[in-house]
């Protein structure tokens, strides 16, 4: 079924101590020798006479113990992340989000011309759609391209990007969009920008407005995407983005993958697309 397709990974992974994470993950790695010792200890506890040296070459299985929040790396936020209720009903946790929401055709809206800290408005979205000569359809997945993924691995990744506003977010959901992604650290404007606007105005609606719009209009967002430039086109991009199931979770790690026909991918690599 997929033998004539190219898969484009649109995610960043979980990294130990990543500079682009305010709450970086830690990864404790167990090597193959340690794995043999641990497995031997478990078998000994079961009454079996097994030593680590009894494994071939004295080594066995390697694995990792990860300490990370569910909002580390590329992840999907569930409606529950925004508040206890959405559309006057209990907000769905990530294990309750329909799989259908993460499968569809994506459209990429280019916001790379906006300054860091700018708020993306409805006019910005409509202008990007006009440039693509594209009308949104119910069930499409909208991806906001800021170019911030090029800063991954640096502290600037946390601060140098435009973010969605409440009106723009609500407008997309009203068009039938259930999943909105961004290649930036956050869906809203950077933390410092929101804090500065709140200090200046005293308006509580300056604090995470795009997130909190999900209390009125149900949707999910994917944060920390990457490689949107690798896509051969910006509309009708087949996309698979299923979050991992976390019981009662506010988010789940996700690996969005675009499925592109090989002939189209070849044209892009050759610079003709």
pLDDT in tens, 139-173: 999 999 999 999 999 999 999 999 999 999 999 99
55/91 same-domain check: no
Distance CA 268, CA 220 (A): 30
| pLDDT tens string 58-72 | 999 999 999 999 999
- Distance, in Å, from the CA atom of 207 to the CA atom of 189, rounded to the nearest integer, reads 9
Same domain, 62 and 82: no
175-200 pLDDT tens trace = 999 999 999 999 999 999 999 999 99
Helices (H), 121-190: 122-132, 166-174
For residue 164, what is the domain's CATH number? Answer: 3.50.30.50
* DSSP letter, residue 225: B
Q: Domain span at residue 220?
A: 75-269
Q: Is residue 50 part of a domain?
A: yes
- Phi, psi of 59, deg, nearest 5: -130, 155
Residues 38 and 59 placed together within one structural domain of the fold: yes
Give the separation between CA 78 and CA 270, rounded to whole angstroms: 39
- Total number of domains constituting the chain: 2
Q: What's the predicted TM-score (pTM) here? A: 0.92
């Amino acid at each position: 079924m997929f033998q004539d397709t190219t898969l484009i990974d649109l995610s960043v992974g979980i990294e130990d101590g990543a500079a682009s994470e305010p709450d970086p993950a830690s990864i404790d790695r167990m090597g193959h020798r340690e794995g043999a010792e641990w497995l031997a200890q478990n078998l000994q506890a079961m009454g079996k006479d097994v030593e680590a040296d009894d494994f071939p070459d004295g080594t066995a299985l390697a694995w990792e113990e990860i300490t990370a929040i569910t909002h580390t790396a590329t992840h999907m936020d569930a409606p529950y992340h925004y508040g206890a209720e959405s559309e006057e009903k209990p907000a769905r946790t990530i294990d309750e989000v329909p799989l259908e929401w993460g499968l569809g055709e994506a459209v990429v809206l280019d916001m790379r011309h906006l300054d860091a800290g700018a708020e993306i408005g409805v006019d910005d979205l409509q202008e990007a759609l006009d440039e693509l000569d594209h009308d949104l359809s119910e069930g499409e997945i909208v991806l906001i391209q800021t170019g911030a993924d090029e800063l991954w691995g640096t502290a600037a990744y946390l601060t140098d990007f435009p973010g969605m506003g409440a009106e723009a977010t609500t407008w997309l959901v009203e068009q039938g969009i259930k999943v909105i992604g961004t290649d930036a650290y956050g869906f809203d404007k950077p933390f410092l920008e929101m804090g500065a606007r709140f200090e200046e105005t005293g308006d509580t609606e300056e604090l995470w407005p795009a997130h909190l719009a999900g209390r009125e209009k149900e949707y999910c967002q994917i944060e920390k995407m990457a490689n949107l430039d690798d896509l051969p086109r910006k509309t009708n991009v087949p996309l698979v983005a299923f979050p991992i199931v976390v019981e009662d979770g506010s988010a789940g790690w996700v690996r969005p993958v675009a499925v592109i026909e090989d002939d189209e991918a070849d044209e892009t690599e050759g610079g003709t697309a």
